[in-house]
Structure 1
Amino acid sequence: MAQESRKYELVLLGATGYTGKLVAEWITTHLPDDLRWAVAGRNEKKLQDVVAELSKLRPDRKEPAIETCAHEPSSLDALAKSTTLLITTVGPFMYYGEPVLAACVENGTHYLDSTGEVPWIYDMISKYDALARKNKTIIIPECGLDSVPADIMAYVLARQVRKRYNAACERAVMTLYAFKSGISGGTSLTMLELFKKYSLSHLAKSMHPYSLSPVAADGVAGPPPSASLATSLVGLKTIPELGGIQTTGLMAAVDECIAHRSWGLYQTSPDEKQQYGPRFRFNEYARAPSFFVGLAQKVVLGSIAALLAIPVTRWIMEPIFRRVAPSPGQGPSRESMKKDFMHYRGVGYTQDGKKVLADLEVAHGGYVATAITLSAAAKVMLRGRLGETEAGRLGGGILTPATLGDEYVNTLDEFGMKIRVQE
């Protein structure tokens, strides 16, 4: 079925969940009024409640349609056939994602999601990338907080280094400079579920920084140097351009995989100006207010991962995780989110040390940021100049947010995620 003849331009699956409701709100307030779209899920009454709330946001706008859909192949196949683009926020994706993605690939339906589960993406690339390319279907996972800020920061820095110095970008480094944001129930349990589902060998293989890249990582740059020997000895970094001491970033391992897939995809471009550079490496950190805070964060995150990796200690910790985490579908209150914000800072380097600095800021926390990134991507794919982007050149496949290019950067800016390059 040709995409132009489909019933909807966009279907949002998972609209009754915490993240899904926020995405629905941003579609309502930021995408064109003549958009043909629907909210989808299993519970019609909950979907009706969501639509009623959306009507309060924009009483003058036509309500989205409602599509009830069981999470089984025939229902998902019919849903995918009905729309040009499907957005899903239904996770954990390692359990619920593949049937949705498969239905989209098989029916030529473009796809966006909010996952941060790299081992799952690793498997999906192996299973569906070739068919998505054949069917000219654009599949973009990790189009939420994981991993748009990192992926777009790496893209912008590489572009600006090339533009300013007519040179390849050898390295890009980003830090979460400052933030206030809450956590939802679904996200807080994802790490636990990853260790339960996947073997340690599969986690190690799939979480290698270049595991998702279609280009071999031969001769890439090493990790960034530290300006302080003392911090280096305990695994921290001192990078003056990023604001001092840098410690382990909570989502660094995830974001680095996606940024390096973007690098690999752009390296396949016949236009050298589109390429990041053959030695490109991206690293992500979190800024620490002091040496001891940075060390404590590194130790705590490392210890949690180590304990979850051991079946016995994971069995002991699981009830604790489930007791303290919000219930799935729940998250920060609207009142507590009013003062949320996120500020990232990045620097890109040429091989001879020339640099470009940039800041990415959003006056919201992580869940609204995900609503921004998904709705902005949808606008580019449905109403933008998609054919002029790298995603358009590639035509299909399991791609990344950065392949939506400069138009996506500009749309993010319009929607409230501001990226500023320092002169």
Structure 2
Amino acid sequence: MSDAATPRVRDLDIVVYGATGFVGVLVAEYLAGHSPAGTRIALAGRSAERLEAVRAKLGVDWPVLVADAADEPALEKMAAAAHVVITTVGPYARHGRPLAHACAAAGTDYVDLTGEVLFARASIDENDDLARSTGARIVHSCGFDSIPSDLGVHVLHRRVSDDDAGELTDTTLVVTSLKGGFSGGTIDSMRNQLDVVRKDRDLRRVAASPYSLSPARDREPDLGRQDDMASLKASDVDPALRGSLAPFVMASYNTRVVRRSNALRDFAYGRKFRYREAMSTGTSPLSPVIAKVMKLGLGAVVAGLSLPPTRFVLDRILPKPGDGPDEKARNSGHFTMDLFTRTTTGARYRARVRAKGDPGYAATAVMLGESALTLVHDRDKLPASGGGVLTPATALGDALVERLRAAGLEISARPS
């Protein structure tokens, strides 16, 4: 049975689960101001009192639904009532699996913000076949993880295909501008995954594999070592670039999402498609030094969170779950990501994804909210992938690109 074959009748269009959390409130605010008239939305979480306070602050008359993340019957009832469930409740490996499964079983579309490779892998194993049978689109990583990466490659591939310029080969996303902070939820998710892999060798191998989210590892091309956290000379990515590139903290997750998109599309990007991400450190003479320091610093934070004595110190410094920047800081944030590729015909192309607003908060609220609205209002424009555990590109594709452009994001591709 597919979502196209059997129209679904539900009382609600969208449920925002985790609506009292920091990001959940931002998503609810975005939907309150940008949803088409008549969109039926509910707020959900553990506390009716706190949900009602959010509702009053927003000035809406949306219903509230009470459901604990561990209360499977309540989650099943909530999933069955809606066309789409948005969840901002993490760490997802700890709190997210029952809800994703409930949505897959109910034929309910689902979007989240996860950047947790082990959770995404578990969801694929538990829910992909089930979601295919019910028509549910289970779409992980619909925020700063990993929409800029996934849709950036999507529009790059689309432009190269339209120009009949071959297939993608070496492709690199470069973070050229970024202003924003890490959320406490992101840090908590990192802590949780480090705890898990430290105790389980098999899960450690899954987390380390560049193809950990791929549908079938044995179908992936043999492209040699894939270094997702490399320091690079910028001109090695594109002759027009200068300076050095440092590892990008989200690369180890985003790259796996993009590789899954390619595999789900039967390697439409190309059998020689190699993908990596990095961060510009500028063009000054100190750029190579800054890149090395950033790589060492990132490694030090990961190591520090892995060891109890240093974690104790870092926990007193790093943001706590539920913490976030004030409105002024959120509005002053921004990001620009440029993607560079060389095709099998020798042509060079580049894409750009750019947005205003703190990437992990203001911009993420737009991306997550528009992902849900795409599933509700643009079903006739969605890729013909049916149900399953999908990626933003394979589940939402051009329909989401159009919505995000209309919301103010730049998503473009052109010959270089």
Fold-level similarity (TM above 0.5): yes
SS at match of 1:319: helix
Moved more, 39-48 or 314-323: 314-323
Q: Distance between the aligned counterparts of 2:346 and 2:202, measured in 1?
A: 37
**2:222 alignment partner in structure 1:** 219
**2:57 alignment partner in structure 1:** 53
Conservation of the 8 A alpha-carbon contact between 1:171 and 1:221 = no
**1:299 alignment partner in structure 2:** 296
**1:378 alignment partner in structure 2:** 372
Question: Which one of the candidate residues 364, 379, 386 is aligned to 1:395?
Answer: 386
Q: Distance between the aligned counterparts of 2:122 and 2:410, measured in 1?
A: 33
**1:271 alignment partner in structure 2:** none
Question: Which one of the candidate residues 373, 396, 415 is aligned to 2:407?
Answer: 415
Q: Distance between the aligned counterparts of 2:79 and 2:410, measured in 1?
A: 32
Conservation of the 8 A alpha-carbon contact between 2:329 and 2:358 = no
Q: Distance between the aligned counterparts of 2:103 and 2:13, measured in 1?
A: 13
Alignment of 1:164-243 (within 5 A): 164-198=163-197, 199-215=200-216, 216-220=219-223, 235-238=231-234, 239-240=237-238, 241-243=240-242
Question: Which residue type is aligned with residue 167 of structure 2?
Answer: A
SS at match of 1:286: strand
Conservation of the 8 A alpha-carbon contact between 1:157 and 1:172 = no
What root-mean-square deviation, in Å, do the aligned CA atoms of Structure 1 and Structure 2 show? 2.1
Q: Distance between the aligned counterparts of 1:343 and 1:235, measured in 2?
A: 19
Q: Does 1:351 align with 2:344?
A: yes
1:147-191 superposed Cα distances (whole Å, 9 cap, x missing partner) = 111111111111212222431112321011111102222112221
Q: Distance between the aligned counterparts of 1:127 and 1:399, measured in 2?
A: 13
Question: Which one of the candidate residues 363, 366, 369 is aligned to 1:369?
Answer: 363
Question: Which residue type is aligned with residue 357 of structure 1?
Answer: R
Post-superposition shift, 1:378?
1.2
Question: Which residue type is aligned with residue 401 of structure 2?
Answer: V
Alignment of 1:304-323 (within 5 A): 304-309=301-306, 314-323=307-316
SS at match of 2:168: coil
Alignment of 1:68-217 (within 5 A): 68-71=66-69, 72-198=71-197, 199-215=200-216, 216-217=219-220
Structure 1 portions without partners, runs of 5+: 56-61, 225-231, 269-274
1:118-170 superposed Cα distances (whole Å, 9 cap, x missing partner) = 11111111121111111111100111111111111111111212222431112
Post-superposition shift, 1:338?
2.5
User: TM-score with structure 1 length normalisation?
Assistant: 0.88
Q: Distance between the aligned counterparts of 1:206 and 1:319, measured in 2?
A: 24
SS at match of 2:65: strand
Q: Distance between the aligned counterparts of 2:242 and 2:388, measured in 1?
A: 38
SS at match of 2:327: coil
User: TM-score with structure 2 length normalisation?
Assistant: 0.90
**1:40 alignment partner in structure 2:** 44
Q: Does 1:340 align with 2:336?
A: no
Question: Which residue type is aligned with residue 320 of structure 1?
Answer: V
Q: Distance between the aligned counterparts of 2:405 and 2:259, measured in 1?
A: 23
Q: Distance between the aligned counterparts of 2:382 and 2:171, measured in 1?
A: 22
**1:227 alignment partner in structure 2:** none
Q: Distance between the aligned counterparts of 1:139 and 1:79, measured in 2?
A: 16
Cα distance change, pair 317–245 in 1 and its aligned pair in 2 (3 A): same
Cα distance change, pair 201–303 in 1 and its aligned pair in 2 (3 A): farther
Conservation of the 8 A alpha-carbon contact between 1:176 and 1:345 = yes
Conservation of the 8 A alpha-carbon contact between 2:10 and 2:82 = yes
Conservation of the 8 A alpha-carbon contact between 1:122 and 1:206 = no
Moved more, 87-96 or 156-165: 156-165
Conservation of the 8 A alpha-carbon contact between 1:345 and 1:357 = yes
Post-superposition shift, 1:203?
2.9
Cα distance change, pair 76–150 in 1 and its aligned pair in 2 (3 A): same
Aligned length: 396
Post-superposition shift, 1:308?
4.0
Cα distance change, pair 389–222 in 1 and its aligned pair in 2 (3 A): farther
Question: Which one of the candidate residues 279, 291, 302 is aligned to 1:286?
Answer: 279
Cα distance change, pair 148–242 in 1 and its aligned pair in 2 (3 A): farther
Cα distance change, pair 326–305 in 1 and its aligned pair in 2 (3 A): closer
Question: Which residue type is aligned with residue 194 of structure 2?
Answer: F
Conservation of the 8 A alpha-carbon contact between 2:231 and 2:244 = no
**1:63 alignment partner in structure 2:** 61
Structure 2 portions without partners, runs of 5+: none
Conservation of the 8 A alpha-carbon contact between 2:336 and 2:354 = yes
Q: Distance between the aligned counterparts of 2:226 and 2:393, measured in 1?
A: 22
Q: Distance between the aligned counterparts of 1:242 and 1:89, measured in 2?
A: 37
Q: Distance between the aligned counterparts of 1:189 and 1:294, measured in 2?
A: 26
Post-superposition shift, 1:251?
0.2
Conservation of the 8 A alpha-carbon contact between 2:169 and 2:342 = yes
SS at match of 2:37: coil
Alignment identity in percent?
A: 31
Post-superposition shift, 1:63?
2.7
